[in-house]
Chains A and B, each alone.
Chain A
Amino acid sequence: MRWALRIGSVAVVLLLWQVLTATDTRMWLRFDQLPTVVEVAQRFAVQVGGAEYYHDLGNSLARIMTGFLLAAVLGIAFGVLIARFPLLGDLLRPPLEVVRPIPAIALVPIAILLFPTDEQGIVFITFIAAFFPILVSTRHAVRALPTIWEDAVRTMGASRVQVLFRVVLPGTLPGVFGGLSVGMGVAWICVISAEMISGQFGVGYRTWQAYTVVDYPGVIVGMVTIGLLGYLTSAAVELLGRRVTRWLPREALR
């Protein structure tokens, strides 16, 4: 019943879109410029049949995965170090806090100047975008860790390193995954934007390319593809997060 309702609501939106665009409706908003659902679907079928679509898909995915994984590893490492070692915190926080409020996409000119290839620049932008949410949520999660677990493990004779790997990292995972989810979201925004500005392949580049050659169905196909990729990668992070934090009390799970 609820599924029928959900599918029904999507169908109504699609139908409305089809009617408004097919009849070239102009009522302040100009639907006559937009492709119809049927046109988009036909275009999608053509694209999915060709090699270029997958080439772009692979490019964007490789960029986001590289940037995101780098951000995850470094964000978690820096977050833990800053929270656990006050001296390192004093050393690292000021420069990081200066860069943090700058939207990653505003760093595109710097990235172009700094890196030998556009490819590396795009990965850099994606990395910066995901790095800060992961860093900040890791730092908070480490700070909020109940001391009792650490006390317990220390009275078992654990060394500092053992405390780090046996208590701090597993104990902060729920908070870290909050940061990973947010990080994945902004990473997509930034990889697509960066591709639109300076890419040679990729879903973002292809979408912008379609717009400049007045291929509007192609634009919509690009948008839908971006949406799907964003949804799938976020779902993967979410699923992994649930798996590794299944020890949380039930009421904390959604």
Chain B
Amino acid sequence: MSLSVRSLTVGYGRSAVLSEFSLSVASGEFVVVAGPSGCGKSTLLRAVAGLIPFSGAISVDGVAVRGPSRDRALVFQDDGLLPWRTALRNVELPLALQGVPRSERRSRALSWLDRVGLAGVEGYLPRELSGGMRQRVQLARTLAQQPSVVLMDEPFGALDAQTRSSMQELVTEVLAGTTTLFVTHDVDEAVLLGDRVVVLGAGEVERQRDAILAAVKA
């Protein structure tokens, strides 16, 4: 499942957040977009997710993106879980939306929670979980959705260093072979996780500096 972004422009004229940005992610590739706050990283993900209007062309496997779909899952920095649903019911949600029968979605959600190391917390509400655990639930929910492309918007930005590094390990493990576009302001994280790192500049003049850094994968 490859992702292609061509001449993406969001906003108008001088106030454009992104202008004429192009990027392609090969099938199974893990690409990290790094850049300072306000450079348009989140905007890029929201455009690819189909949540905001844009000009240019975005396509997944040649199919043009016209709006949000279960094809492209978005993982948020924090608070992406529905607070009134337990961890289990949050993971079940994408399956419920797809019409998977109750008993089957339950067992599938449980196995995804197990996969991210959260066996036993299925009955807890998001507010009863730590920030790291909530991000694990989000990851399990994304995996349950089985999207073609995973979009991650600074998913570990709100975590402490130790939790962050264990989450990075987990992501490398469970998303291996999944087409992923990951956004971060942390250069170390970018180099650690990415098969390829794209640096997004702060100004409109600076476009894409494809600083291809060979990722060191363990």
Contacts and interface: CB of A to CB of B under 8 A. Distances in A.
A249 B125 CA distance: 10
B128 to A, nearest CB: 9
Interface in A163-219: 166-167, 170-171, 173
Interface string B78-102: 0111111100000001100110000
Nearest to B125: A247
A155 interface: yes
Nearest to B151: A155
Contacts of B46: 151
Given A155-B70, A156-B70, A157-B98, A148 B51 contact: no
Interface of B: 46, 49-51, 68-74, 76, 79-85, 93-94, 97-98, 125-127, 145, 151
A162 B93 CA distance: 11
Chain A contact residues, majority secondary structure? helix
Contacts of B97: 153, 156-158, 162, 166
A171 B85 CA distance: 11
A149 interface: yes
A247 B93 contact: no
B195 to A, nearest CB: 23
Contact of B84 (A152, A157, A247): A247
Given A146-B79, A247-B125, A153 B93 contact: yes
Contacts of A155: 49-51, 68-70, 72-74, 151
Contact of B79 (A148, A153, A156, A166): A148
Nearest to B46: A151
A50 to B, nearest CB: 47
B76 A148 contact: yes
A154 B46 CA distance: 12
Contacts of A154: 51, 68
A245 to B, nearest CB: 8
A249 B126 CA distance: 10
A98 B68 CA distance: 39
A246 B51 CA distance: 30
Chain B contact residues, majority secondary structure? loop
B98 A151 contact: no
24 contacts: A148-B76, A148-B79, A149-B80, A151-B46, A151-B68, A153-B82, A154-B68, A155-B49, A155-B74, A156-B73, A156-B94, A156-B97, A157-B71, A157-B94, A170-B82, A170-B84, A171-B82, A171-B84, A173-B84, A246-B125, A247-B84, A247-B85, A248-B127, A250-B127
Contact of B80 (A148, A173, A245): A148
A151 B83 contact: no
A162 B97 CA distance: 8
Interface string A129-161: 000000000000000001011011111111000
A158 B141 CA distance: 14
Nearest to A155: B74
Contacts of B125: 246-247
A249 B127 contact: yes
Nearest to B126: A247
Top-5 shortest CB links A-B: A157-B70, A247-B84, A154-B68, A156-B94, A155-B74
A167 B82 CA distance: 8
Nearest to B73: A155
A237 to B, nearest CB: 19
A148 B45 CA distance: 14
Contacts of A171: 82, 84
B71 to A, nearest CB: 8
Residue of B84, B126, B151 with most chain A CB atoms under a 10 A cut-off: B84
Given A146-B79, A162-B97, 17 more contacts: A149-B82, A151-B76, A152-B74, A152-B76, A155-B49, A155-B72, A155-B74, A155-B151, A156-B94, A156-B145, A157-B68, A157-B94, A166-B82, A167-B82, A171-B84, A173-B84, A247-B126
Contacts of A170: 82, 84
A74 to B, nearest CB: 24
A173 to B, nearest CB: 8
Interface in A235-252: 245-250
B127 to A, nearest CB: 6
Nearest to B77: A148
Contacts of B83: 247-248
Nearest to A159: B97
